[in-house]
Amino acid sequence: MVISPPEKPTRDEKQSAGRNVAIVALFAALGGMLYGYDTGIISGALPKMSAQWGIDHTRQEIVTAAILAGAVIGALVGGSLSKRLGRRKTIFIIACVFAVGVVACALAVDAWMMTFCRLFLGLAVGACSQIVPTYIAELAPPQRRGAMVTFFNIAIGVGIFLANLVSVVAAAGDSPEASSNWRWMIGIAVFPALVLAAAMLQLPETPRWLIENGTVGKARVVLRWMRPNRTAAVEETLQIWAISQQEDKESRGGWANLTQRWARPALIAGLGIAAFTQLSGLEMMIYYSHTILGTAAGFDAGLVVWSGLGIAAVYLIFTAVGERLVDVVGRRRLMLTLIPGSTVFLFGFGLMFVLTDHPNRYLTLALMLAYMACNAAGLQAVGWLLGSELYPLSIRDRATSLHAVALWGSNLVLTLTALSTIDGLGLGPAFVMYAGFNLLSFVFVYFAVPETKGHSLEDIEQSLRDGTFLPLRGNIASRIGLPDNRITTGAAAD
């Protein structure tokens, strides 16, 4: 019998599959843009609301953090919903909540109504942050998964940049602090929400969810559309099916599966990274950039607005840099390279205000931007990605929910306490403390987070079962200075 060699994809097939993967990632990542815009627009809108409604710092923190409290709830609900209905239908529902939420916020008549509406809007933000990266990761090929999932991060950066650009436009009129033009600033986000809802009616369900729910044939059809040829689609279908069969009995345990000893290292790594992406302080600085630079640092109104736009631009540019590097340098190495920079620059920013009450404005802004660049390209680019690829299939829905809860919960704590902390400790000591959180994140990554670059989701799961997941095994001292620790599986690492 003559065995035919494996089918090789043609150039046209590769281009077609790559285009289809990009289309899915780009449209799904609209959820990231909505997340970035709806959380970022508060920085420019909050001073206007405060002037119109006469609210103090405590109420400002409550209004700002309400969306994060909703995000915690949305993250918990989103996992169960996506397991029952599928990733695609859940994202459609999320898009509808986004549309209703932003319109409600734009029509709010006082601070308490705004708080409630942002709480509702947060349901979409939290569920989106949990479902969209998982949706993209389960459709993307292993060698492009990092770049595709970080489309979500780039979209967040686009949303934050657009929010600050809108703030610049809104501030161009006379007496911007007393105006009520914050309503249209918030309300225009309804349009991308409707585009996302329409797109999800056309995009496919993920093959992993389809196989888990007994529709192997549909999964193969989806993979044939997303992969360069029939052979690649069939092989991946069989690999997913084998893992699904292996987990069939385990998946009946529900939330109890999260306590399984073999899966614990993935939970520790994923939830820790989720917390540190927020405790490192970047998103808190985005929310309160106008307040921090204007009230605490003494920037004039014009410089505050343009500085906010510069912060958003740096976030966007360096998130894109991280997207380009994450599949080349690797997740772990990228974080270990850039976290020291974010620590030093944030410490320097805080130290400037410890040493003097009136530091050089441009030097302090430069330190803030340098910190933003390192954090956006490192921790922020990798945080969402790891949440989509570390967890085994049997616990993925619940674990990604916990991942988003850890992220939004830590964000909520930081946002609720930021202005009070700055008032109590002073701007300088507060940011020295946040620099300490960045240093702790470096230690955590070194000891608890493995390299996942180039490995399929099934390879990562098998490493957990084999006990080869952790980055440092055996004699730790002998491995100091070797940050590129890889998951050891049957598949060769890139």
Q: Is the pLDDT of residue 451 over 70?
A: yes
Q: What is the C-alpha to C-alpha distance for residues 237 and 211, in angstroms, rounded to an integer?
A: 8
Average pLDDT (475-494) is 42
pLDDT score at 474 = 39
- Architecture in CATH for domain 13-203+257-479: Up-down Bundle (1.20)
Q: What H or E segment, with its residue span, contains residue 92? A: helix 87-106
Q: Is the dihedral of CA 290, 296, 297, 302 positive or negative?
A: positive
Higher pLDDT, 146 or 125: 125
**Whole-number pLDDT of residue 483:** 43
pLDDT of residue 1: 38
Give me the helices (H) in 201-298, please. 207-212, 216-226, 230-246, 264-279, 282-287, 289-291
Residue whose C-alpha is closest to residue 345's, from 304, 326, 373? 373
Would you state the pLDDT for residue 123?
A: 94
Whether residue 258 contacts residue 430, with contact meaning beta carbons closer than 8 Å, is answered with: no
- Segment 235-278, tens digit of pLDDT: 778 877 877 776 665 555 566 677 788 888 999 999 999 999 98
User: Residue 173: its pLDDT value, please?
Assistant: 56
Predicted pLDDT at 248: 63
Q: What is the arithmetic mean of pLDDT over 112-121?
A: 94
Listed range (9-18, 92-101, 209-218) with the worst mean pLDDT: 9-18
Alpha carbons 29 and 314: distance in angstroms, whole number: 19
Instruction: Tell me: pLDDT of 488 over 60.
Output: no
Contacts with 77 (C-beta within 8 Å, 6 or more apart), sequence order: 123, 127
Other C-beta atoms lying within 10 Å of the C-beta of residue 104: 18
Nearest Cα to 288, choosing from 21, 42, 8?
42
In this prediction, residue 122 carries a pLDDT of 92
Give CA angle at 128 (126, 132), nearest 5°.
Answer: 140
Helix (H, G, I), strand (E, B) or coil at 8: coil
Share of the chain above pLDDT 90, in %: 24
Angle at 432 between CA 429 and CA 435, to 5 degrees: 155
| Beta bridge pairs of residue 451 | 486
Q: What is the pTM of this model?
A: 0.74
pLDDT for res 178: 46
SS3 110: coil
How far apart (Å, rounded) are the C-alpha atoms in residues 282 and 317? 15
* Cβ–Cβ < 8 Å for 197, 95: yes
Map residue 179 onto helix, strand or coil: coil
Whether the Cβ atoms of residue 453 and residue 102 lie closer than 8 Å to each other: no
* Segment among 83-97, 114-128, 340-354, 406-420 with least mean pLDDT: 406-420
Mean pLDDT check: name the lowest of 113-122, 190-199, 294-303, 403-412: 294-303
Q: What is the DSSP letter of 214?
A: T
Angstrom CA distances, 260 to 83, 109, 211, 223, 401, stand at: 20, 49, 23, 31, 17
Residues 464 and 265: beta-carbon distance below 8 Å = yes
With a pLDDT cut of 70, the percent of the chain lying above it is 87
Q: Where in the chain is the domain with CATH 1.20.1250.20?
A: 13-203+257-479
Please report, for residues 311, 361, 436, the alpha-carbon distance to residue 366 in angstroms, rounded to integers and kept in the order given: 10, 9, 20
Q: Is the pLDDT of residue 295 over 80?
A: no
d(CA 36, CA 262): 35
Beta bridge partners of 486: 451
How far is it, in rounded angstroms, from Cα 418 to Cα 412?
10
Q: Which are the contacts of 152, defined by CB distance < 8 A and separation ≥ 6?
A: 28, 29, 31, 32, 132, 133, 136, 384
Lowest mean pLDDT among 27-41, 235-249, 387-401: 235-249
Question: Does position 472 have pLDDT exceeding 80, yes or no?
Answer: no
